[in-house]
Structure 1
Amino acid sequence: MKNSAMIVFILFVFCLHVHVSPVYSKEHIPDNIYEVRSGDTLPGIANQYETTVEELVLTNGLQSHTLVVGQKLYVPFIYEVTSGDSLDKISAANHSSPWLIKTVNGLSSPELYLGQKLKIPPKRMNMQGQYILMDRGEFQDWLFNQKFTRNISLIQEHHTWLPSYKQFYGTNHFHMLKSMENFHVKEMKWKTIAQNLTTFPDGTIAVSRPFDIAPEGTIGPKANAAGITIENVGNFDLGHDVMTEAQKETIVTVAALLCIKFGLTPSVDSITYHHWWDLRTKERVLDNGPDYNVKTCPGTGFFGGNSTASAKNNFYPLVVQKMKEISATMH
């Protein structure tokens, strides 16, 4: 009886162990990523990783010092060189650059030796004030590292109309953003720049208004409450700017990434055009708004037109296909 009781007890303990062990297993987080926990602050994390708050802001594209549990931050870490390593290989795998690694570690040459300990700093983002300028890959990385506290379920597509392609010189992204902000604040009396995102003719993307602050604009509060506003630089009414291939790819990719991030399926209920909203009532009218009460935005030439039929036939299928491509590459 004693032996039987002991066997039952051992089996019980074994089953208990098997049952609870997955609770303690965690998704592997790379050494260069820190996942924010309850009670964390930027100064505390900076002190822990021997860096500065300014560096954390610039390397993670932070628009405020407020952190959200589950948010992921790039941080510096110590790496031990293994066989076959090179500065190019190490930097590519760890969100850094060969120049940064050489500089931080005082290396006079790119030559490495087995067992060498290197501090790997994350690279800075192209950031001025609250504005973060990125390519498509950087935006994807930034977006999926963020945690947002606001419910977001509607992607708004707009065109700036003015500024148009004539005002874009290829290097004046931040100047254009600041000019838009000044107009929105001084003339429209809004708190800051209206849109959360801005796309440019060269295919770059600027995170503009923080995602956790609802956008402002003439589309109205109903659309803005759960909305993300995208201003696509250009005048895309027929007969005006012809959208570049780079910007086309970016607009489709941004919409796809936002749909994946927020669990949306492309439709008139999740990706909306400004043209579908009545300027007077602020209600959605789709294709039924009188010309004097609706804007042409995002343009009569935006991916074939600004009607719901154009969106369904031309734009949404591209977004769906891009979602499939992106999802296939994500772990």
Structure 2
Amino acid sequence: MRKKSVLVIGVIFSMLFLTISPAHATEIKPSNIYVVKVGDSLPDIANKYSISIDELKVTNGLQSDVLIAGQKLWVPILYEVGAGDTLGDISFAFHASVETIKTVNGLSSEQLYTGQVLKITPKKMTMQGQHILMTKEEFKDWLFNTQVNREIRLIQQHHTWLPSYKHFNGSNHFQMLMGMENHHKQTMGWTNIAQNITTFPDGKVAVSRPLNIIPEGTIGPTANSVGIAIEHIGNFDLGNDVMTKEQQETIVYINALLCIKFGLTPSIDSITYHHWWHMKTKERVLDATASYNVKSCPGTGFFGGNSTTSAKTNFYPLISDKMEEILESK
């Protein structure tokens, strides 16, 4: 079996060779990842890999020009094809798409030959302004490449109530996000959209408010200061929207990913419902309060109910099981 080389694109006419073994792309970990160092800047990294700052930001779902040491960025490479390599293998290993590889390299088919050098451009993310729209699998990659420089100990669960399922047409994700952002800023007087993360009926997930910025909203400073807020599109009070299987799976999956990322064990102290927080005092009251002092959020039908018993019985076990599944697949 022969060794192959990866040429990392550098400044014009300057290339750095990295040796990779074993032979097949499927057997190697992606090497087109740049780990941010202290003092790095987007212009420096973009210049090093001969791409634009905007392309670097869209490729990595960057919401600002601020970088944090340890953050991982997908960057373009040149890859030398080895015996047995396929475009599918290469695209999977290097976070690219088969069609993009073919287009960039002028390939009319998927046939490759040993020694062929391909320019591999990582996939671009779907972004509009600060909003990043992803599949749950794309969210996994994005999350574990991201560095968060504040303490996270609490994952908040909310439902939007309004907008609900009837407002979602399958393609208006960004329109809904912008509507919520405008409402939160103009009507509520908050500095930005309140939630960090939003899930949709089709299973897509969006990151809007950067994870390094604490959420805003009525749940109060105690929960927000160490929290990440997730809004689930829909009215999940009994008798209203029935959550889709796709959204259910995404909610469980992203909560599991967040628990892994921040070292949390699913419990009432790490995954909280808005319903457990007093509207006036902003203190956590769990189930012990009059109904008019709390919201029903994330809904009386959210994974079997919005009580602590429902969470312990119906929600946390699903997240724990998914965490084990994710960790075993690594």
- TM-score (structure 2 length as normaliser): 0.90
Q: How does 1:210-289 map to 2 (within 5 A)?
A: 210-289=210-289
Partner of 1:13: none
Distance 1:116 1:245 in 2: 44
Counterpart contact for 1:71–1:147, Cα < 8 Å: yes
In the alignment of these two chains, the number of paired residues is: 303
Partner of 2:15: none
Deviations 1:182-228 (A, max 9, x none): 10000000011100000000111001110011000011111100100
Counterpart contact for 2:30–2:93, Cα < 8 Å: no
> Per-residue deviation at 1:292?
1.2
Secondary structure in 2 aligned to 1:209?
A: coil
Secondary structure in 1 aligned to 2:118?
A: strand
Are 1:86 and 2:81 matched, yes or no?
no
Match of 1:325, as an amino acid? E
Partner of 2:208: 208
Match of 2:326, as an amino acid? I
Determine which structure has more spread, i.e. the larger CA radius of gyration.
Answer: 1
* Percent of paired sites with the same residue: 66
Q: How does 1:36-47 map to 2 (within 5 A)?
A: 36-47=36-47
Partner of 1:300: 300
Are 1:328 and 2:325 matched, yes or no?
no
Secondary structure in 2 aligned to 1:89?
A: helix
Partner of 2:138: 138
Give the unaligned 5+ runs of structure 1: 1-27
Q: How does 1:152-167 map to 2 (within 5 A)?
A: 152-167=152-167
Distance 2:38 2:78 in 1: 25
Q: Which has the higher helix share?
A: 1
Distance 2:108 2:255 in 1: 44
Q: How does 1:96-115 map to 2 (within 5 A)?
A: 96-115=96-115
Partner of 2:21: none
Give the unaligned 5+ runs of structure 2: 1-27
Match of 2:178, as an amino acid? K
> Per-residue deviation at 1:105?
2.1
Distance 1:320 1:112 in 2: 43
Q: RMSD value over aligned CA atoms?
A: 1.1
Partner of 1:55: 55
Counterpart contact for 1:195–1:216, Cα < 8 Å: yes
- TM-score (structure 1 length as normaliser): 0.90
Partner of 1:193: 193
Partner of 1:8: none
> Per-residue deviation at 1:329?
1.0
Deviations 1:286-327 (A, max 9, x none): 001211110000000001110001011110111111110011
